[in-house]
Structure 1
Amino acid sequence: MVKVAVLGAAGGIGQPLSLLVKSNPLVTELALYDIVNTPGVAADLSHISTPAKVTGYKGDTELAAALAGADIVVIPAGVPRKPGMTRDDLFKINAGIVQTLANSAAKNCPKAFIAVISNPVNSTVPIVAEVFKKHGVFDPKRIFGVTTLDITRANTFVGQLGKGEIKDKSVTVIGGHSGVTIIPILSAEEIDALTHRIQYGGDEVVKAKDGAGSATLSMAYAGAQFVNALLDAVVLKKSGITQCTYVKSDVAAAEGVEYFSTVVELGPEGVAKIHPIPPLNEHEKKLYLAAIPELKANIEKGVAFVTSQSA
């Protein structure tokens, strides 16, 4: 029996993400939670002929029930980024939302694997970690920042350069999940053409949607990719399952960075192995040095938020 809870399931990311998770036959129960509209989303998805039983929960009073006994919790909840809105602007709104959800998860499913999509991921993952620490249930192997969209974009953009089919691409992207913290590991001929586009690909979507939202469908696809990989590792116990994901890590400890995205091997307990930062060329070393102060500030902001809320 595998229960997946999606928090923010009625939103622009949550609905298509829930659809994709429902399509995975390994999921036997899918709990959908949001402030409004989730019973309708659940009823709609329940008509799909895959094994997962779908239930919908809404409002503060039903959050605990949605999370009770969950094996995997996916958090896309929060407001989308609008034109002109920075990730700092997002932080002010989404930090409180993520903290509330993390508090309930720590109480109702402390052993669950937590996949954080809510932006800014560089800060929201430390928020979840600090909340779990306060409840005495923190396990760094079970809390993930979903950076898969950066890899999906990188694979797509490299494929579009005519270097082969997109499905054959597997670009490693390390660092964090915003702007200069995104460090794609590319070939020499791809660097100039794609580095900036991969780092700021989200802005393309925000601009194209002209105030109507941010990257929702591609993020849902990427989020489902990560959940499916986690299910393969945890439920089927497949070996060799790797994902680039933002986790508590020592790979950049020398620079004072506590969370970092690099290639992570997944296993039945979550993080099985954190791969070191791959060899960097001169261009990538510059990107790494530019990312470090931003990452440190993002992490500190998340930690400070939780500290200030409990002061």
Structure 2
Amino acid sequence: MFSRQAARVLARNARLFSSSAPRQTKVAVLGASGGIGQPLSLLLKLDPLVSSLNLYDIRLAPGVAADVSHIDTPGEVNGYPADKLDDALDGVKVVVIPAGVPRKPGSDPSGPQTNASIVRDLASAVARVSPEAHVLVISNPVNSTVPIVASVFEKAGVFDPRRVFGVTTLDVVRAARFVSGIANVAPAQTPITVVGGHSGVTIVPLLSQNRYGKSLAGEAYEKLVHRIQFGGDEVVKAKDGAGSATLSMAYAGAKFANALLRGLNGEKGVVTPTFVKSDLYADKGVDFFASNVELGKNGVEKIYPVGPISPEEQKLLDAALPELKKNIEKGRAFAAQ
């Protein structure tokens, strides 16, 4: 027998896939041929709220678009090569940026400047062609690339803090999955709010705010927190240098994109963690921060405070803020060059 929650999910999905569902959002994926970009494009093609999907990359994007376009769901797909970036961005409402180089074993997700350069150049094009688009940044290091996008937009005079997001959903997905495995329950019963940033010690899972998470203590708690914070290393090691967390990141990116699209289409009560311009810890020099955010027709509608946390979580937060400040400053300094 279905639970009430399951029935609500089925009813919502039925509404979305019905002919009367709103399908009015044009989405662009910049970096559509990469390890994240291809599965992300596939998942976005399955989203009934995406009416049109523009796939861009410096190579192979038209081929990826042709492949994805054969999927029997509504919504058209177009591919754009390296010299057609402006065309790919024309008229889009949401831009998702997974472009960049994958992590290698032993590398730091807050690391190299290659992705920073890519994101800076893509942001410049978005600011010029589609300045009112909502921008979802997946490219690491998110703690720095989001401030880079904001700085580029500020310089162009088009920055709207309600429309720029760092996608931290993979930390949320991992936390729910790992806790559910320990508790032997479905992940739907273990939603974990994850705040802070999107690398290492800047990732702060608020386990105390979930009935199953708060039961963990001592070594079990410490091991779980470490696994959530450094889950990416686990995947990089398992792939033996051949890649990073591409499939789970694509899923997380599509999940956040769907949440934003639902908000843009007028659904109420869409709340999820994301890394945005925030005043929560601005007095500590941290003016970008991930916390629960309500999404709506204008993008960010409300930023929620962290809420009651345990002493252990306060220690995690105290360790995260200085590192997060350095990451943000690094992004701004790069954009200013």
TM class, shorter-chain normalised? over 0.9
* Partner SS for 1:249: strand
Aligned to 1:197: 227
Aligned to 1:272: 301
Q: Give the Å deviation of 1:254.
A: 2.5
* Partner SS for 1:158: helix
Aligned to 1:75: 97
Q: Give the Å deviation of 1:152.
A: 0.2
Q: Of residues 224, 232, 238 in structure 1, which corresponds to 2:267?
A: 238
* Partner SS for 2:170: helix
**C-alpha distance in structure 2 between counterparts of 1:109 and 1:291, whole Å:** 34
Aligned to 2:87: 65
Where does 1:10-159 land on structure 2 (aligned, <5 Å)? Answer: 10-59=33-82, 61-90=83-112, 92-159=113-180
**C-alpha distance in structure 2 between counterparts of 1:195 and 1:55, whole Å:** 41
Q: 2:220 matched to 1:220? A: no
Q: Give the Å deviation of 1:3.
A: 0.7
Q: Of residues 211, 218, 230 in structure 1, which corresponds to 2:241?
A: 211
Matched-pair contact (CA < 8 Å) for 2:110–2:140: no
The superposition leaves residues 48-83 of structure 1 with CA deviations (integer Å, 9 ceiling, x where unpaired) of: 111211000111x21110011110000000001001
Q: 2:332 matched to 1:303? A: yes
Q: Give the Å deviation of 1:95.
A: 0.5
Q: Which structure 1 residue ranges, 4+ long, deviate > 3 Å from structure 2?
A: none
Q: Of residues 310, 315, 319 in structure 2, which corresponds to 1:281?
A: 310
How many aligned residue pairs are there?
A: 305
Deviates most, 206-215 or 273-282: 273-282
Matched-pair contact (CA < 8 Å) for 2:110–2:199: no
Higher-Rg structure is 2
What is the aligned-residue RMSD (CA, Å)? 1.0
Aligned to 2:291: 262
Q: 2:292 matched to 1:292? A: no
Q: 2:198 matched to 1:177? A: yes
**C-alpha distance in structure 1 between counterparts of 2:187 and 2:53, whole Å:** 31
**C-alpha distance in structure 2 between counterparts of 1:297 and 1:207, whole Å:** 27
* Partner SS for 1:114: strand
* Partner SS for 2:276: strand
* Partner SS for 1:250: strand
Q: Give the Å deviation of 1:258.
A: 0.5
Give 1:27's aligned amino acid: V
Aligned to 1:249: 278
Unaligned 5+ segments in structure 1 are none
Give 1:280's aligned amino acid: I
**C-alpha distance in structure 2 between counterparts of 1:193 and 1:298, whole Å:** 25
Q: Give the Å deviation of 1:168.
A: 2.2
Unaligned 5+ segments in structure 2 are 1-23, 208-213
Q: Percent identity?
A: 59
* Partner SS for 1:103: helix
Matched-pair contact (CA < 8 Å) for 2:110–2:143: no
Q: Give the Å deviation of 1:18.
A: 0.4
**C-alpha distance in structure 1 between counterparts of 2:96 and 2:165, whole Å:** 10
Q: Give the Å deviation of 1:192.
A: 2.5
The superposition leaves residues 191-224 of structure 1 with CA deviations (integer Å, 9 ceiling, x where unpaired) of: 2341000000000000000010000000000000
TM-score after normalising by structure 2:
0.89
* Partner SS for 1:86: coil
Give 2:235's aligned amino acid: V
**C-alpha distance in structure 2 between counterparts of 1:63 and 1:201, whole Å:** 33
Q: Give the Å deviation of 1:88.
A: 4.3
Give 2:67's aligned amino acid: D
Give 1:183's aligned amino acid: V
Deviates most, 247-256 or 225-234: 247-256
**C-alpha distance in structure 2 between counterparts of 1:134 and 1:168, whole Å:** 44
Q: Give the Å deviation of 1:164.
A: 1.6
Q: Of residues 259, 282, 307 in structure 2, which corresponds to 1:229?
A: 259
Give 1:282's aligned amino acid: P
